[in-house]
């Protein structure tokens, strides 16, 4: 199939098959297009906030602002006000007999509530306002109260000093047990982006109400302006949290060959305020595969930081988001892209991109996944290949090129083009499968759904950024921490 015809096919699948209406208006896309109306697999006919991230980004590029706004408002109406989950957004929702039914984890496999959905909502809300220019929507009380509810949920005291967000196993895209409990990278990168976005939305409201510089105003302490006072307090608190979070991530999550060598030589069993080995990491926990993986000039954000148990696995989405949100510096972004290019046989192979590397195998798989048959080695989230991840890599590299030219850009351009050709050839042949199995990503996933919406839309985004308008990669630009 020719490129133009394939793009038109993907568009028709999105607009005619995947998008659904609630109350007469398009509100979002179902997770996977059913092969027939009587075949509703599990909850793939529901509208997932996570799965709709690429959908909403593409609709913004297409100028379909009304759909995005309706999606954001519907999610906002479903923000939980229950004691246990107050402030959180649902993983998914569906219309049943005229009523909206939301899933806060009470129906999920494993009964875990997704945390990433809430963080993505704040990011999408900011991107919508920035792209559409609809500042009036950002100033509504519903939006501002929703942001406050979210911030009150994620910016709270805990039993630890670290600024990272602590979540259970299965609370984000990796929604099955994979030993990612604690402080997984993807959640911390999303937390950083969500806080930037929330501050940006609060600032828009303050600007519109004449509080552009709260230091120069005297009346925001008036009791009648309690909402504004709360906004100013949360904004300052979130900025302070952002600074601490970024510093923490760069100190504890970023590794390269030199840093690994330093970690290996640190003393253990230290006590006190100033120690070199805060998490008491033993040399034996550092895997030998890191030597060849990192090379001389590669670097990346590790998967997790836990007491005595760092997770050195490479998680693709968290690293791409870290670059896209400028959590890591431009120099570190170059190291990351260099590492991904150097290890393309592992990460890209025959279907970009592998979700994590390396997989849990043997006894590790049995103990840490609970014998999860879906997460067998090289399957599903245990080092399976997900084409929906490729556009995140594309946008991260294009944003980097906009900010700084590099001699490595030629190699990255070739990598982008080669893998775009793979998507062109394989995705329609394999019926837009959800994920692919095996060390090379050759086989369609054993339990993969076909005509997966984010596979379809991620292809459309990749085509847009590589072939239509690379400058649109700035759609993911969030407020700059330095400017804040």
**pLDDT the model gives residue 50:** 97
Angle, helices 141-154/65-77, rounded to nearest 10 degrees: 60
Asked if 321 contacts 193 with a C-beta cutoff of 8 angstroms, the reply is yes
Quote the distance between the C-alpha of residue 159 and its chain's center.
26
Q: Which residues contact 224 (CB under 8 A, 6 or more apart)?
A: none
Residue 429 main-chain phi, psi, to 5 deg:
-65, -35
What's 368's DSSP letter? H
Peptide bond before 282: cis, by omega within 30 degrees of 0? Answer: no
Structure-token pair, residue 170? 């299965």
* Cα separation, 429 vs 353, whole angstroms: 18
| Cis status, amide bond into 417, omega within 30 of 0 | no
pLDDT of residue 216: 44
**How high does pLDDT run on average in the chain?**
94
Work out the number of other CB atoms within 10 angstroms of the CB of residue 240: 12
Query: What share of the chain in percent tops pLDDT 90?
Result: 87
Query: pLDDT band for position 3 (50/70/90)?
Result: very high
Residue 63: CA count within 13 A, CB half-sphere = 0
- Map 31-45 to HEC letters: CECCCCCCCCCCCCC
Cα 2 to Cα 415, 422, 466: the distances in Å are 21, 13, 16
The CATH number of 3-476 is 1.50.10.10
The residues facing 94 across adjacent strands are 101
Kindly state the DSSP code that residue 128 receives in the 8-state scheme: H
pLDDT per residue over 64-87, tens digit each? Answer: 999 999 999 999 999 999 888 899
Percentages (nearest 5) of helix, strand, coil residues in the chain? 50, 10, 40
* Exposed / middle / buried, residue 429 (Cβ in 10 Å: 0-12, 13-18, 19+): exposed
- Residue 370 pairs in a beta bridge with none
Q: Distance between CA atoms of 276 and 297, rounded to whole angstroms? A: 24
Partners of 254 in the β-ladder: 301
Say which DSSP state 472 is in.
Answer: G
What's the confidence (pLDDT) of residue 136? Answer: 98
Cα separations (Å) of 221 from 142, 214, 226, 237, 464? 22, 10, 8, 17, 48
What does the pLDDT look like over 183-218, one tens digit per residue? 999 999 999 999 999 999 999 999 999 887 655 445
Domain ranges of the chain: 3-476
Evaluate if residue 109 carries a pLDDT over 90: no
Q: What is the structure's pLDDT at 407?
A: 57
pTM of this prediction? 0.96
Which tens digits make up the pLDDT trace of 442-457? 999 999 999 999 999 9
- What pLDDT score was predicted for residue 211? 84
What values do phi and psi take at 256, rounded to 5? Answer: -140, -175
Q: Hey, which residues does 93 pair with through a beta bridge?
A: 47, 102
Task: Write the DSSP string, 149-204.
Answer: HHHHHHS---SS---SPPB-TTSSSS-S-SS--BS-HHHHHHHHHHHHHHHHHHHH
The C-alpha atoms of residue 349 and residue 149 are separated, in whole angstroms, by 42
pLDDT at 391 over 70: yes
Report CA-CA distances (Å) from 397 to 101, 381, 449: 38, 24, 29
CA distance 126 to 88: 17
């Amino acid at each position: 199939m020719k490129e133009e015809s394939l793009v038109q096919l993907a568009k028709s699948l999105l607009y005619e098959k995947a998008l659904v209406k609630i109350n007469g208006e398009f509100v979002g896309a179902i997770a996977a297009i059913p092969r027939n109306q009587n075949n509703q697999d599990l909850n793939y006919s529901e509208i997932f906030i996570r799965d709709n991230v690429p959908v909403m980004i593409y609709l913004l590029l297409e100028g379909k602002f009304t759909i995005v706004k309706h999606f954001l408002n519907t999610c906002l109406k479903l923000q939980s006000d229950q004691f246990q989950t107050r402030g959180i957004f649902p993983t998914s929702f569906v219309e049943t007999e005229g009523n909206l039914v939301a899933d806060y984890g009470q129906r999920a496999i494993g009964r875990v509530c997704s945390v990433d959905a809430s963080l993505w909502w704040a990011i999408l809300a900011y991107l919508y306002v920035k792209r559409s220019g609809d500042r009036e929507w950002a100033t509504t009380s519903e939006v501002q109260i929703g942001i406050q509810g979210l911030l009150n949920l994620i910016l709270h005291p805990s039993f630890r000093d670290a600024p990272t967000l602590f979540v259970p196993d299965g609370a984000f895209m990796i929604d099955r047990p994979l030993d990612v409990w604690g402080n997984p990278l993807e959640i911390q990168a999303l937390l950083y982006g969500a806080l930037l976005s929330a501050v940006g939305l609060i600032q828009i409201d303050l600007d519109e109400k004449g509080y552009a510089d709260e230091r120069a105003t005297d009346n925001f302490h008036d009791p009648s302006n309690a909402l504004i006072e709360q906004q100013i307090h949360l904004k300052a608190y979130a900025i302070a949290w952002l600074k601490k979070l970024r510093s923490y991530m760069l100190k504890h999550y970023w590794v390269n060959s030199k840093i690994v060598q330093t970690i290996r030589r640190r003393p253990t069993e230290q006590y006190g305020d100033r120690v070199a080995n805060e998490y008491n990491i033993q040399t034996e926990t550092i895997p030998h595969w890191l030597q060849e993986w990192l090379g001389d000039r590669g670097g990346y954000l590790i998967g997790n930081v836990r007491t005595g148990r760092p997770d050195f696995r490479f998680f693709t989405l968290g690293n791409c988001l870290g670059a896209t949100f400028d959590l890591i510096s431009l120099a570190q972004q170059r190291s990351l892209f260099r590492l991904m290019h150097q290890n393309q046989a592992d990460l890209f192979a025959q279907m970009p991109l592998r979700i994590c590397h390396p997989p849990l195998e043997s006894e590790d798989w049995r103990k840490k996944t609970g014998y999860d048959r879906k997460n067998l080695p090289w399957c599903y989230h245990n080092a399976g290949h997900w084409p929906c991840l490729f556009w995140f890599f594309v946008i991260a590299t294009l944003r980097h090129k906009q900010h700084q030219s590099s001699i490595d850009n030629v190699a990255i351009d070739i990598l982008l083009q080669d893998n775009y050709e793979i998507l062109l050839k394989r995705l329609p042949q394999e019926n837009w499968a959800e994920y692919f199995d095996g060390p090379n990503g050759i086989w369609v996933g054993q339990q993969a759904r076909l005509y997966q919406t984010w596979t379809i839309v991620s292809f459309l985004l990749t085509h847009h950024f590589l072939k239509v308008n690379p400058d649109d990669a700035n759609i993911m630009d969030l407020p700059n921490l330095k400017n804040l």
